Structure 1
Amino acid sequence: MSPLGPRRWPWFVGVVLAIGVAFYVLQPILLPFVLGALIGYLGDPLVDILERRGMGRTWGVTVVFLVLTAVLVMALLIAVPALIHQVDALVRKVPDIYRWLTDTLLPWVQANLSIPVSRLPEIDWTSRLAENWQSLGKATATTLRGITGSGAGLLAWLFNMALVPVVAFYLMRDWDVLMAKILRMIPKAWQENTTVMVGEADEVLGAFIRGQLLVMLALGVIYSIGLSLVGVQLALVLGMVAGLASIVPYLGFIVGIASSLLVAWFQFHEPGALLLVALVFAIGQVLESVVLTPILVGDRIGLHPVAVIFALMAGGQIAGFLGVLVALPVSAVIMVFVRHAVARYRASELYTGE
């Protein structure tokens, strides 16, 4: 019987289905484990480097963990105050944007497209923003009372937050051992092919997770610095939003340039500023296409932009935020196995007819 004989396939399909059902049923408690696994996967190559240089595995994990924590804390200390200041400035601009829509854009559209004359309702933005901030405060207070009012709910939330670094530490320390044990559980007839496919899947995952995160961060920094040089007031918010949205192909560019042009117009009212904003995003796109993506990600993922959008929407529909978090990595790994399956099909008698 061939290595992929029919007697093994029911077991394989059963295991895959069992994993899928377990993921769906247990998704309310899986988020700290998924985040911990993500951190462990990102840190494992760094720990391997330290281990090859003579440092013990546990000490290497400790060093990597402390470095990652320090970088995260520094980024939060630098970025959060600036983000809060710029979000506050954005909120103050809402009345001006609404007034421009009412007094300029809507009349122009009606005059040029022969739409019946109508006006947007007048809004007292001073009282409306105050009401919204008051409602937000009430909603936040109600949520906090709901969490703290239930001892079990507060305990579960604290436990989940504390569990993420614990899971990340132990997975980072034992990553290679766990992978070897999982491989030994696979039928011996499959182990050679599985080792090859797991190696390709690891390459794809590494290219996606590490590479795409670096591309998103780099684009956010490029857009933020470029918009700051132009003088756009909300440069940090606009640049980071565009960088994060770039996880979907072209979405970051579309969202970023549209919102930045709108903000620049309200701030400067000059076509030259709009051209400079467009130049910033054009430079970002060129750098992404020519430098960032080829170097940091490469062409190994093989996911079509439509497949990326579908994977994100499907993940969100199935498992909410957790599904979105794992959608693209899972899709990238599935594509590795699909390519191998297609290659075997094309070499089979079913395809060749021989």
Structure 2
Amino acid sequence: MQFTSTQRRTLAWFSIAVVAVLALWLLGPVLTPFAVAAVLAYALTPVVDRLDRMCRGKVPRVLAVAVVELVFIIVLLAIALLIVPIIFKEAPLMRQQVPLLLDGLANWLQPLLAQLGLKVSLDVVSIKAFAFKYLNANVEDALAQLVSSVKLGGSLALAVLGNAVLIPVALFYLLMDWDRFVAHLVALVPTRLRAGFDSFVDEADGVLGQYLRGQLLVMLILAVFYAVSLSLFGLDLALPIGIFTGLAIFVPYLGFGLGLVLATLAGLLQFASIKALVMVAVVFGVGQFIESLFLTPRLVGERIGLHPLAVIFALLAFGQVFGFVGVLIALPASAVLLVGIRRVRTSYLASPLYQG
């Protein structure tokens, strides 16, 4: 069977795509830190370039890279440490309030079940004893369990530690030589495809830039909104929970869900009344409404145009291949893929194959 030159070219590109996808699937755990570092380098390179231009060459680029990466790491650690005061504040409150909450739940639930004709006996004493067993555990027991879990999951702990070291190192070298790496990749593109490739890269760069800038604004606005709104309800931990929830929105669904759980727990432990549920329903309901209908469409923009089902599929697919970090890069990577899909669709609709 004879193939035309166009068919051979198409077959070759299809084979390359299959091999690339297979390599990504097999080497997913190995490529994960480099993929994360590449995404971070793409986002931070403009900052390094601007700092380099501000210094007008008087400061070595390595110093600009070190400053930008150090500030970025400090910001990440600060966000992670927002959870520390929540833990230290809630631990003693849980010992005091959980028994009272259990009594209140039993007093409310048993009459309700009786009205519904359900005869259910709640053993509140046993539930309290079970809760006290774990809430009163001392620090030594907690540390012993932690050490035991680390021993059982040693490979996982080593993988996390390895990524924590490898990602900053890879990010440093990528920031140092980003332009040179990009130039080498562009040089591999055949000359006849260079115009289309440059057009695709420019469009993808515009989509990613819009996504990153818009997402940053959404995070900052929501962090202020949640912190102020929870403070108006009198929540003691309004500031750390509000800021953490707003910034964690960068991880779709997971960030909002974690903030919701933390606010609910903190509200129940502090107020021990229906006020906590009202607070969470009002603040997080309004916050989700504002984000979905106003902030994300206007600030992130409709150019990305990912359907909610596509967002869920992207999160699951990237999470399956790259783990938790895959969830972080799912949406920007999907935005780039969407640019390619749009171009393929446009070419197909203009081709004789579609027009008959």
TM bin (shorter chain) = 0.7 to 0.9
Counterpart residue identity of residue 39, structure 2: L
Cα offset, 1:333, TM superposition:
1.5
Q: Do 1:242 and 1:255's aligned partners in 2 also have CA atoms closer than 8 Å?
A: no
RMSD of aligned Cα (Å): 3.7
C-alpha separation in 2, matches of 1:340 and 1:116: 63
What one-letter code is carried by the residue in structure 1 that aligns with 2:87? I
TM-score (norm 1): 0.78
**Any gaps of 5 or more consecutive residues in structure 2?**
none
> How far apart are the structure 1 equivalents of 2:261 and 2:85?
22
Change (3 A) 1:322 1:90: farther
Q: What is the aligned-residue identity percentage?
A: 40
Q: Would you say the 8 A contact 1:215–1:296 is kept in 2?
A: yes
**Equivalent of 1:309 in 292, 307, 312:** 312
Matched, 1:343 2:346: yes
- 2:199 is matched with which residue: 196, 199, 212? 196
Counterpart in the other structure of 1:138: 144
Structure 1 residues 135 and 273: CA distance shift in structure 2, 3 A: closer
Aligned to 2:30: 29
Distance 1:114 1:197, change over 3 A: farther
Question: Equivalent residue of 1:117, what SS?
Answer: coil
In structure 2, distance between residues paired with 1:76 and 1:26: 29
Q: 1:25 to 1:145 in 2, by over 3 A?
A: same
Q: Following superposition of structure 1 onto structure 2, how do residues 1-354 of structure 1 map, counting pairs within 5 Å? A: 5-53=6-54, 54-55=56-57, 57-73=61-77, 75=79, 79-88=82-91, 91-92=94-95, 93-105=97-109, 107-108=111-112, 110-111=113-114, 113-119=116-122, 122-123=126-127, 124=129, 125-130=131-136, 136-144=142-150, 159-216=162-219, 218-236=221-239, 238-239=241-242, 240-241=244-245, 244=248, 247-248=251-252, 260=263, 264=267, 267-268=270-271, 277-281=280-284, 284-285=287-288, 287-288=290-291, 292-294=295-297, 296-353=299-356
Q: Deviations over 1:48-76 (max 9, x none)?
A: 32344434644432332243244445555
Deviation at 1:227, TM superposition (A): 0.8
Shift of the 137–259 alpha-carbon distance from structure 1 to 2, 3 Å rule, reads: closer
Q: Which range moves more in the overlay, 280-289 or 46-55?
A: 280-289
Which consecutive unaligned segments of at least 5 residues does structure 1 have?
none
Cα distance, 1:256 vs structure 2: 5.2
Q: CA 1:194/1:71 → structure 2, altered by over 3 Å: closer, same or farther? A: same
- Mark the CA change 1:209 to 1:91 in structure 2 (over 3 Å): closer, same or farther: farther
Deviation at 1:185, TM superposition (A): 0.9
Give, in whole Å, the separation in 2 of the partners of 1:163 and 1:98. Answer: 46
Task: Give the paired residue count.
Answer: 343
Q: For the Cα contact (< 8 Å) 1:220–1:243, is it kept in 2?
A: yes
**Partners of 1:278 and 1:158 in 2: how far apart?**
38
Contact 1:86 1:237 in 2 (8 A): no
| TM-score (norm. length: structure 2) | 0.78
1:257 is displaced (CA, Å) by 5.7
- Does the residue aligned with 2:13 lie in a helix, a strand or coil? helix
The 1-side partners of 2:271 and 2:99 are apart by 17
Which letter maps to 2:200? M
Partners of 2:260 and 2:251 in 1: CA distance: 16
Tell me, yes or no, if the aligned pair for 1:264 and 1:274 is still in contact at 8 Å. yes
Q: CA deviation at 1:43?
A: 0.7
Mapped to 2, the partners of 1:132 and 1:314 lie a distance apart of: 40
How much does 1:90 deviate?
A: 6.2
Shift of 1:213: 5.0
Q: CA deviation at 1:248?
A: 3.1
Do the aligned partners of residues 306 and 135 (structure 1) sit closer, same or farther apart at CA in structure 2, a change above 3 Å counting?
A: farther
**C-alpha distance in structure 2 between counterparts of 1:158 and 1:306, whole Å:** 34
CA contact (8 A) 1:42 1:210 kept: no
